[in-house]
Chains A and B, each alone.
Chain A
Amino acid sequence: AQSVTQLDSQVPVFEEAPVELRCNYSSSVSVYLFWYVQYPNQGLQLLLKYLSGSTLVKGINGFEAEFNKSQTSFHLRKPSVHISDTAEYFCAVSSSSGSARQLTFGSGTQLTVLP
């Protein structure tokens, strides 16, 4: 079984400051990792994903994440946040349920960007 732990439930940060949202996973097999963002009253939007290759993954809206196999982490970073980045962020790992490929999500991190 695979699981995802998001270490911070809430992260407040001032506008233009850097931010890191932490994610750790557990898995007994190869992992495929994702970060999704959810704006208020909306569904989930894919920010970025790690499938293989370079451990530094760049996504949309200036976000990037680094896959660290030894620390089983996939932390999300942005060098300078904007008010519009305020949202809930979910880390997820791709796993299997029978022949289905499902996403197993963490409990989310609420990022609040303050003026």
Chain B
Amino acid sequence: ETGVTQSPTHLIKTRGQQVTLRCSSQSGHNTVSWYQQALGQGPQFIFQYYREEENGRGNFPPRFSGLQFPNYSSELNVNALELDDSALYLCASTLGTGITDTQYFGPGTRLTVL
């Protein structure tokens, strides 16, 4: 039990639609990272937010965007969904942005794009 929750658990969308995924971090954790885990692959870094500002981004297009709120919750938004966006989306919260800080993962949201 990591204290990080995500909603919804599962989601089905069609190509071209928009989706919002939600994450609630551990209390006091100022940093949230989002990862995409395609079937049979390891998680890939999408972006990180620190104190409500984007703090770094992986190799994902701008249609992937995020928000972080003062109450330790955050959102991942994906516009113009593509079939390849089907994956497990994981958020991870961290106390700070240090390179050695442990990231605590939520259970994930399984997104299926038809």
Q: Which residues of A contact B (CB under 8 A)?
A: 4, 32, 36, 41-46, 49, 51, 90, 92, 94, 96-108
Contacts and interface: CB of A to CB of B under 8 A. Distances in A.
Interface residues of B, number: 33
A45 B2 contact: yes
A97 B35 CA distance: 13
Contacts of B57: 97-98, 100
Interface of B: 2, 4, 6, 33, 35, 40-45, 47-48, 50, 55-58, 90, 92, 94, 97-108
A46 B58 CA distance: 22
Q: Which 8 A-B residue pairings sit nearest by Cβ, starting from the closest?
A: A100-B56, A105-B42, A98-B56, A100-B48, A43-B105, A97-B56, A102-B45, A44-B105
A106 B105 CA distance: 16
Contacts of A98: 55-57
Contact of B42 (A49, A51, A102, A108): A108
